[in-house]
Structures are given as C-alpha cells and as structure tokens.
Structure 1
Amino acid sequence: MPHVLVLNASYEPLGVVPLRRALVLVLENKALCLEESGAFLHSATRVVAAPSVVRLKRFVRVPYRGPVPLTRKALFARDGGRCMYCGGVATSVDHVIPRSRGGQHVWDNVVAACRHCNHLKADRHLRELGWRLRHQPAPPSGLAWRIIGTGHRDPRWLPYLQPYGADDALARIDGISA
C-alpha cells in the first residue's frame, strides 16, 4: 500500500502514513492535499485523486522526539542499502567494534553489511583484517531523517523535505549507493 507524507500546518514534516489514513484526513476536512500521486480511488459516488503529500489544517504541537531511533530501516537508509566494507548490496547489520568485545549498539558503531563481509568479519576488529570502512558511521540528524528513515521515499516529497536537511540526507544516501 502506498504511503503519504504528512506535514504540519507550518509545513514541518510530521511523518509518513498509509494512503488510507491520509485519505480519511482529507475526506474529514482535517488536511489538504498538496500533491497527488496520479492514481485515483473510486467509490460508488465519487472519484478522488490519491494524495502523495497532505498538510494538516490545524497546527499540531509535537513534543521533543530526541535523536533519530536506530532501526534496521533507518540504518539501511543511512548507508544507502550498500555494504560499508565492499559496496555490495547490504543484507545484514554489523557492529564495527563487535559487541562481544565491548562495542555498543549505537549509530557510530553499526553499519549495513553484505552477508559475505559480515560472515568474514565475524567478531574481529577491522584492523585485524586490514579492512577499512567506506564512510565513517555517524548518527543522522534533522527532521528529514525521520521521514527517510522509514524506508519510504517519493520524489514528490523532496520539495517539502529540503528545508529540513533532505538534500544532505539524500546526497549522502545516493553518494554511498553510487
């Protein structure tokens, strides 16, 4: 099912919701459709364009959310879906400093890896293997990462995410995946 970007009344990105939820917001007059996806939804009496971006009519106060949570989807988005050791397609998560040797499960120590590299590295340090990381892992920052980290991306969302660091985030993702 397609997903829709939800913006606050101030155009601040709030999150990504399923198409059905976004359509309910628009039909209940709680949100305005800013971008359409090009698809149409049909009922017995109406034809409605499926939204891609909606903006709430009323401002919603959002409490401080803290840093971007470390999830598998967010990690793969940060690393562009590529192995940080060889550049192949990443299928697993690896700790740069193995947890068995005191490494923590934090953004600075976790990278995406292909199955082959993850198996070869096992619980060893990079210097023991003579390997180097393609890029130094770091925690993502900015509101755009909360959206990009969901794993859902739509080119129509970019103009609404650019003021919140989307260019840096997408350039980093595209630079790593290239």
Structure 2
Amino acid sequence: MSRALRAAIRAEISSIIPLDALEAEHLQATLAWIDSGAELWRREKPATPPEHLSTYFALVDGSSLLLVDHKNAGLWLPTGGHVDPGEHPRDAVARELLEELGVSGLPVPAASFLTRTEVAGHHLDVTLWYALSVSRTLPLRYDQTEFNEARWFDFDQLPYSDSDPHLARFIAKLAKMSA
C-alpha cells in the first residue's frame, strides 16, 4: 500500500468531528490502528485480517433514509461494503453504489461518522459512514442477490432494533449536522 493512500485515509478519518465519547474513542483507536502500519483491507472472506475497513453510504432525502433488507445479515442496513485492497473508502462508495443500487455519478462527500463494530464474533469492521443527499425519486436497481428489499424510512420510523447498532447515533449526528 502506498504511503499516500494511507495518509489520505488517515486524513479522511481525522477530519471527522465526533458526535460523542464513543465516536471519539472509535476515532482514536482507528487512528492508532492506521499509524501502526497494520493491513487496512480485508484480503480473504470473512475475516482476514480480523480488523478491516468498510463503508456505509446512507442515501438521505430530507428526514428519510434508504435501508436495504440484507439477506446474509438479516438486518435493515444502509448500503455499503468492504473496501477493496488498495482502494480509498470514497472509491469503495462509488463502486458499491453501482454494484448494489445501479447508480453512478453521484458525488461522494467526506465521511461524517465512524464506528468500530464486532461482526459475528470473529472480526472488526472499521466503518466510515457517508451521507449522500439524494431525491427519493432517484431510480434505483438494488442487487436482489444481496438484498430482499430496498425501502425508504422516515427517521421516526427506522427499524433500530433490526439494524446496525450505531444507526440511531448516526441519525442523531445527521440531525445535529443539519441543525
């Protein structure tokens, strides 16, 4: 991996202003991980190395969010995926937008949220969350091999108990950023 790419990823993460003490802790641990020189990308499914980068890109229309019913996870999640070796997380968002929703050409803003989540007890996803403002009328073609359904939810109707454990905090951060 190039030093320039590691530095660019570090800069992206360093620019995130934490919502709360938990995000501050996650940011500090992630920066230490990057600075350690450890491998940042998953090389083999499901968990090699056991800590690696992933992304969520949340399509937001005002106070509504697109979630997908993820077949493998059994949860309603923002779209996203693992960052490929040698890939910047923003490039992963652009790639996954096309693969998962059939959308290309959307500008990808800087990450606005970061979480560290243990997955299935065997690996840690270091997830950069990207909020993309779009219209609900944007034509989408979701990947039916990966998702049962894609659905827009108003923020007050989000299925928090059947989603990523950090989704409520992400929505709180979106609200704070738009206030």
The answer, yes or no, to whether TM exceeds 0.5 is no
Over alpha carbons, which structure has the higher Rg? 1
- The interval holding the TM-score normalised by the smaller chain is under 0.3
The TM-score normalised by the length of structure 2 is: 0.25
Identify, as 1 or 2, the structure richer in strand.
Answer: 2
The TM-score normalised by the length of structure 1 is: 0.25
